[in-house]
Amino acid sequence: MNTLFDPIKIGDITLANRIVMAPLTRNRAIEGNKPGPLTVEYYRQRASAGLIVAEASPISPTAQGYLDTPGIWSAEQVEAWKAVTGAVHAEGGKIVLQIWHVGRISHTSLLPAGEVPVSSTDKAADASTFTRDGFIPVSKPRALRDDEIPALIDDYRRAARNAIGAGFDGVEIHAANTYLIEQFLRDSVNERSGPYGGSVENRARLLLEVTNAVIAEIGAGRTGIRLSPMTTFTAPRDSNPQATYGYVVDQLAPLGLAYLHMIEGETGGTREPEGAPAFDYAALRSRFPGAWMVNNGYTKELGKQAVSDRLADLVAYGRPFISNPDLVRRLRDGAPLNELRADKLYGGGAEGYTDYPALAA
Ligand code: PHB
């Protein structure tokens, strides 16, 4: 029977254990949307994770929606990320990059002059984002034209190529948390007609075209995907999440992906509240032959149970990895966990970022 601490090969990537550091937005990028020296240290400290999924990184200047997130579109960003991947590899770790387009969850002040956020729709989300002026409502987007989609897919392709050039072991396509790909996938947001709207086949088309482009660029064995069927983070649920996400998983199943990553329930690290609508994650898992990563509010006990019950191959931990750089050791040894400083999650410097203590050697 497998445990959290056993190695596993997922696609082309061999992991020392099944404990994954979830992607976490920390808003500490330096000038030029590059990871700086503190970010190198932050990931180096956490390299004992079986896999690090590095924070969501915009694929183009138009893809960003929050202040000071590190990008993966420019040559300078690729150079800066090399220090991160080099540090993690030197410690024996593995690291993939989450590639991101926020869609309508953005503000004009975060975008190149004159640009507005793009989405499947021209309706604004009921959401805020963090800018130089603090938290403010997101801008009204414009709906992408169908003839703009090929260039968008090229941005994903370039991001994947850049990530490999920067030394990442692969990429995770961010198709979760109601960002651009889910703004197409969900009928609660997507009111388009034409090839990218209407039927589930059409609403899933962008996700599948992006996936196939990334696979063509870097190989399926280095490509993972993150989904969040039930989150209402910045948009309502699809009218039939089980059918919509079931279709997506059926389409992804034969592609040979490194893994599928499921956020179970609401974004943000807590288990589903009592009375939340049911979703049968196990039904999706039974239809996917590759590695299955679960996330959201897992404790050590729940993670162990999920792996031993074969409900998961990998368990991603978010907040526990922020406050415990040596989380793998602490889980293995049953050591107490550090308290999270929730006021230091977004932006700032070393405090609440690289200053959480590890256990003494
Ligand atoms: C956030 O910045 O709050 C954020 C970013 C990416 C996610 C979820 C949340 O996937």
Q: How confident is the model at residue 271 (pLDDT cuts 50, 70, 90)?
A: confident
Rounded to the nearest angstrom, the distance between the alpha carbon of 333 and the centre of ligand 1 is 31
Per-residue pLDDT, averaged over 299-322, amounts to 96
pLDDT band at 1 (very low <50, low <70, confident <90, very high): confident
Contacts of 275 (CB under 8 A, 6+ apart): none
CB 341 within 8 A of CB 352: yes
Query: Could you tell me the distance, in angstroms and rounded to a whole number, from the CA of residue 56 to the centre of ligand 1?
Result: 8
Cβ atoms of residues 68 and 57 within 8 Å: no
- Please state the rounded mean pLDDT for residues 237-260: 98
pLDDT of residue 318: 97
In the prediction, which pLDDT does 18 show? 98
Residue 43 has what pLDDT?
99
Confidence of residue 270 (pLDDT cuts 50, 70, 90): confident
Which tokens is 287 given? 């239809």
For range 274-301, the mean pLDDT: 94
Q: Using the atom order of ligand 1, give the atom closest to the CA of residue 346.
A: 2
Closest CA to 256 of 302, 225, 284, 295: 225
**Do 298 and 3 touch, CB atoms closer than 8 A?**
no
Is residue 340 scored above 90 in pLDDT? yes
* Mutation test residue for ligand 1: of 68, 129, 177, the one with most atoms within 8 Å of CB: 177
Q: What is the pLDDT of residues 56-112, one digit of tens each?
A: 999 999 999 999 999 999 999 999 999 999 999 999 999 999 999 999 999 999 999
Instruction: Answer yes or no: is pLDDT of 287 > 90.
Output: yes
On average, the pLDDT of the chain sits at 97
Instruction: Determine whether the shortest distance from the Cβ of 56 to ligand 1 is under 6 A.
Output: yes
Does the domain spanning 8-344 belong to CATH 3.40.190.10?
no
Handedness of CA 318, 320, 326, 328 (dihedral sign): negative
Rounded to whole angstroms, the Cα distance separating 71 from 39 reads 13
End-to-end alpha-carbon separation of the chain, Å? Answer: 29
156 is catalytic: no
Give me 340's structure tokens: 């999270």
In the chain, what percentage of residues exceed pLDDT 70?
100
Cα–Cα distance between 360 and 351 in angstroms, integer?
20
Q: Give ∠ CA 315-63-67 in degrees, rounded to 5.
A: 80
| Alpha carbon distances (Å) from 173 to 82, 91, 97, 99, 265 | 20, 25, 8, 5, 19
CA pair distance 274, 246, nearest whole angstrom: 24
Compute the distance between CA of residue 266 and CA of residue 230 in angstroms, rounded to an integer: 6
> Residue of the nearest CA to atom 4 in ligand 1?
25
Instruction: Name the pairing type of β-strands 8-10 and 259-263.
Output: unpaired
Structure-token match 């961010």, residue found: 174
303 CA distance to ligand 1 centroid (A)? Answer: 22
Ramachandran angles phi, psi of 49, nearest 5° = -55, 145
pLDDT category of residue 157 using cuts at 50, 70 and 90: very high
Residue 273 reports pLDDT greater than 80: no
| pLDDT, average across residues 290-295 | 98
Supply the pLDDT for residue 353.
98
Q: Which of 66, 179, 245, 356 is catalytic?
A: 179
Ligand 1 near 267 CB (within 6 A):
yes
